[in-house]
Homo-oligomer: A and B are copies of this chain.
Amino acid sequence: MTDTAEEMYTLVERMYPLCRSITGDGVRATLDIVGEYIPLQVHEVPTGTQVLDWTVPQEWNIRDAYIADTAGHRVVNFAASSLHVLGYSVPVSATMPLAELRAHLHTLPDHPSWVPYRTSYYKPEWGFCLAQETLDALPDGEYEVRVDSTLADGHLTYAEHVVPGQVPDEVIVSCHVCHPSLANDNLAGIAVATFLARALAQETPYYTYRFIYAPGTIGAITWLARNAERVERVKHGLVLACAGDPGQVTYKQSRRGDAEIDRVMRHVLTASERPHHVNEFTPYGYDERQYCSPGFNLGVGSLTRTPYAGYPEYHTSADNLDFVSPEAMADTLAVCREAFAVLDRNRRYLNLSPYGEPQLGRRGLYDALGGRSDTKQAQMAMLWVLNLSDGEHSLLDVAERSGLPFSAVAAAADALCGAELIKA
């Protein structure tokens, strides 16, 4: 196992206990931790701000929440897990019989030992989430219920990290930071994004890479609303989520289906010989929903391992630290790096000597001894790049049509550029 794999897992462990939601101090604390790894620009957007068709809601913070029996024993306790309280619960302090309380309790009858994850962001409501087993064991009678939360004007918090490139065109990597103690969804995604940013910073990439850490839906919508001009510069993107579970890597294509990121991901996943899935776009899932809404229609796909809602542990207490592994996160990170290596290097060239083949031999690019049939990959790559560099074909096109590794094709393009036989 690599150091990076372990470091990503440690980052997940550190973020796991915090109670995150679409606003509030849990998000801020999470971004503080990420900020220890990479510098973040944190944005605070006031409640009531109009963002596209939405309005930034009141900020929610919670200090404590419990259900206690008449003996004062806490039978459900927020301190034990942030999942126990319905996200965005309004404050409550009351005593009521179990029969009345039931309307506010959420369980998973099919998984009686698991606690579900539930929210009520836009309808004032209070509630608790608990194991069916716990509920079944509660005797009838009176219970004290208390949610010590505040829902008040404040801010929505999100952050950005930019790896500067050679051109202002951007690649965005977006991950949601609003889920409470769920390890795969999306602490693993946050961890992979963070170490991906670190790796990209080691070199000067071609594109500018922008990492967006924002609450789901309202956060992405807020970012889009505040970056209307920047959106024009976003050429490619990935939504990163569920990045640490044991399942196969899954790429969900952008709404376009043939965006460059779609072609790159398909190519890289196939070339890597990893077991994987490539799924069609659907307007459900994570924030690709917003980036791929028809007005924006960005070339943004989504990379997960098991996809959205595709595993029983999804949105339950079973999506815990045991459900994710350093190895799985390291593998997801590797896929991202392989894909961005291709994306970043993919370009169209123009053959400057397009009539007949240029004489490679006198430029030292071709074997002097003729007649042999075992032409080398490097020579084939040069012939392919020359033949397809008509301004219509990218290096990825050349790699796919020739069946040669992208890296060999890119090296041939470098050699031919050096000989001034092609130009970008």
Residues of chain A at the chain B interface (Cβ within 8 Å): 52-54, 87, 116-123, 125, 217, 220-221, 224-225, 255, 280, 282-284, 289-290, 292-297, 308-309, 314-315, 351, 353-359, 361-362, 368-373, 375, 380, 383-384, 386-390, 401-402
Contact = CB atoms under 8 A, between A and B. Distances in A.
14 contacts: A53-B353, A53-B355, A53-B356, A53-B357, A53-B358, A54-B359, A225-B356, A283-B386, A283-B387, A293-B355, A294-B351, A294-B389, A296-B355, A315-B371
Contacts of A402: 282
A373 B307 CA distance: 12
A334 B366 CA distance: 38
Which one of A120, A283, A362, A368 has the highest number of Cβ atoms from chain B below 10 Å of its Cβ? A283
A384 to B, nearest CB: 6
Nearest to A401: B280
A370 B120 contact: yes
A220 B315 CA distance: 63
Contacts of A53: 353, 355-359
Contact of A290 (B309, B356, B373): B356
A54 B371 contact: no
Given A284-B383, A373-B314, A387-B255, A293 B368 contact: no
Given A125-B368, A284-B383, A357 B290 contact: yes
Contacts of A54: 356, 359
A351 B386 contact: no
Contacts of A255: 387
A10 to B, nearest CB: 27
Contact of A387 (B121, B294, B353): B294
Nearest to A362: B122
A292 B387 contact: yes
Given A282-B402, A356-B295, A389-B294, A315 B373 contact: yes
A90 to B, nearest CB: 13
B295 A370 contact: no
Nearest to A83: B371
Given A351-B294, A355-B296, A387-B255, A284 B371 contact: no
A94 to B, nearest CB: 21
Contact of A380 (B123, B284, B401): B284
Given A283-B357, A293-B356, 4 more contacts: A53-B355, A118-B369, A119-B370, A294-B388
A402 B280 CA distance: 10
Contacts of A355: 52-53, 224, 293, 295-296
A389 to B, nearest CB: 7
A368 B308 CA distance: 19
Nearest to A379: B284
Contacts of A361: 122-123
A292 B351 CA distance: 13
A396 to B, nearest CB: 17
A356 B359 CA distance: 53
Contacts of A120: 368-370
Contacts of A121: 370
A401 B253 CA distance: 13
A357 B217 contact: yes
Contacts of A387: 255, 283, 292-294
Contacts of A389: 294
A122 B225 CA distance: 63
A306 to B, nearest CB: 12
Contacts of A220: 356
Contacts of A116: 371
Contacts of A368: 120, 122-123, 125
Nearest to A383: B283
Contacts of A372: 118, 315
